[in-house]
Amino acid sequence: MTICRALAEPVVHGHSTGKVRGKGVLAPHRKTKSTKLKCLIQSVGEVNDFLPGRLNARHAPRSICASYSVLASQMYKPRLLTPGPTQVPEAARLSLARQVGHHRTPEFMQLMATVLRGLQDIFFTQNDVLILACSGTGGMEAALVNTVPRGGKAIVLSAGVFAQRWAHIGRAFGIEIVEHQVAWGRAVDPADVARLLVQHPDAVAVFGTLMESSTGVVHDVAAIGEIVGKTKALWVVDAISGAGAIECRTDDWGIDVLVVGSQKALMLPPGLAFLAISKKAWQQMDRVECQAFYFNLKLHRAKLREGPTTPWTPAHTLIAALAENLKIMQSEGIDQLVAYNRQLAIATRAGIEALGLTIFANPPADGMTTVSVPDGVDGGVLLKRLESRFGVKLAGGQMQLKGKIFRIAHFGMIDALDILGTLSALEIVLLELGWSITLGSAVAAASQHLVLAEPALVHHAN
């Protein structure tokens, strides 16, 4: 922080008569790159504060902790490998730093049109795509209250925290929920969906998830879509964390409403939700008296036709940043990105299994790896130590899985070196916590699967 503040200060001439002092270091009066010198002096001073001995022998040593962890906790590079939020590319960050413009302009409508076409490419759809200023949960609520009337019936395929959220939203709006419970970490059997639709022919829609990020499991959305498509029911899918990370072919798989969030594979900060809506879904929405005002999707459809624009103030700075990310993703090709994520998934799991650890999800999604915390290891301590020692931020378990699993994402800007570094850090921390492992085994096992892997968007995104 001190270094950053120094760079932000006014530049002084290298021949200035003023003396620049660091911590125990006096800058000489000679021609210098003054700002860089000042930063160097301050950075040396900061390092000195945390090293066992002072670099400047003229000063007496301080009484400080000499452990590596103290140095690391002050100077580590943050490494975000959670399945949301995710790392944001530099082009998008720079876009967010620009001055704010107005949103009711021809320029914004042109930007909006470009972004909507890009989202259609990423989602593999020709359907309408709407952009809402809200979180992914807001997108889920919008999808549900616009398709199912109060008192109507909906089938929810509940296999984790986020799939379960469909049921919570539905009950809040007076919708009859048929909740099909599946063991967390296991996938929904499409045959069960066929049976449920026979038992409940009056169900308006089936709600499910592509990649359940609370468990790391992937569901057979294509097979379920084929079954639901033979009925009058809609197939509504939470792909908030999955779309852009793993294969998601909206039109080919019969998805009537696809919900996606900005802070996952689309690599934005939180704040936007996206809905791809089929003609069948629009026909159902036209028959429903919507229980929402802000989330009334028929109002969004009208503005989409007019502009394209939005009925309410859009988060247009995020939309502009999204345009930058879509350029990167489209230049690489979504199929190539998905293939690279799959390669990272294979490597990550090989490393995890080399440590004698167990993959929790079955089948696991290629966008993330969920690992069971081994017996005798405190899951909370493991995650805290990974972050404090190495800056590696992973996600833990939620609700009934709290302390029992940890989750590693491998999509977006995450690359092979991120994965290898995380596995190396995991080896060290597990060893420190008493777990018997061979150092280097996870990295070696993962590396075998990365020899021929080509990096995807990372070289464009930094």
Query: Are 368 and 260 in the same domain?
Result: no
Please determine, for residue 393, whether its predicted confidence score (pLDDT) is greater than 70. yes
What's the CATH number where 107 sits?
3.40.640.10
Q: What percent of the chain has pLDDT over 70?
A: 81
Q: Is the pLDDT of residue 46 over 90?
A: no
**What's residue 67's pLDDT?**
46
State the pLDDT at residue 62: 34
Work out the average pLDDT over 180-196. 98
The reply to whether 179 and 39 lie within a common domain is no
426 and 376 in a single domain? The answer is yes
| CB atoms near residue 259 (< 10 Å) | 29
**Are residues 120 and 189 located together in one domain of the fold?**
yes
Give the pLDDT mean for 49-71: 37
Of 73, 4, 81, nearest to 421 (Cα)? 81
Q: With a cut of 70, say whether residue 344 has pLDDT above it.
A: yes
For residue 372, the surrounding DSSP H or E stretch is: strand 368-372
Q: What's the pLDDT at 456?
A: 59
| pLDDT given at position 453 | 55
- Distance, CA of 12 to CA of 34 (rounded, Å): 6
3-state SS record for 352-401: HHHCCCEECCECECCCEEEEECCCCCCHHHHHHHHHHHHCEECEECCHHH
Number of compact structural domains in the chain: 3
**Rounded average pLDDT over 361-380:** 97
Choose the final residue of a domain: 301, 332, 363: 332
Q: What percent of the chain has pLDDT over 90?
A: 80
Domain co-membership, 231 together with 119: yes
Same domain, 234 and 375: no
Determine the pLDDT at residue 51: 35
Instruction: Provide the residue range defining the domain that includes 46.
Output: 2-75
Same-domain status, 253 and 350: no
Q: Residues 249, 305: one domain?
A: yes
Is the domain of 302 the same as that of 427? Answer: no
**Which residue, of 268, 298, 332, is where some domain finishes?**
332
Whole-model pTM: value is 0.84
Instruction: Give me the pLDDT at residue 457, please.
Output: 54
Q: Does residue 252 sit in the same domain as residue 328?
A: yes
Domain final residue, candidates 300, 332, 364: 332
From residue 431, how far is each of 163, 377, 382, 393, 427 by CA, in Å?
Answer: 35, 10, 11, 18, 6
248-289 tens-digit pLDDT: 999 999 999 999 999 999 999 999 999 999 999 999 999 999
Domain co-membership, 117 together with 215: yes
40, pLDDT greater than 70: no
Q: Using DSSP, state whether 25 is helix, strand or coil.
A: coil
219 and 325 in a single domain? The answer is: yes
Bridge-partner residues for 21, per DSSP?
A: 26
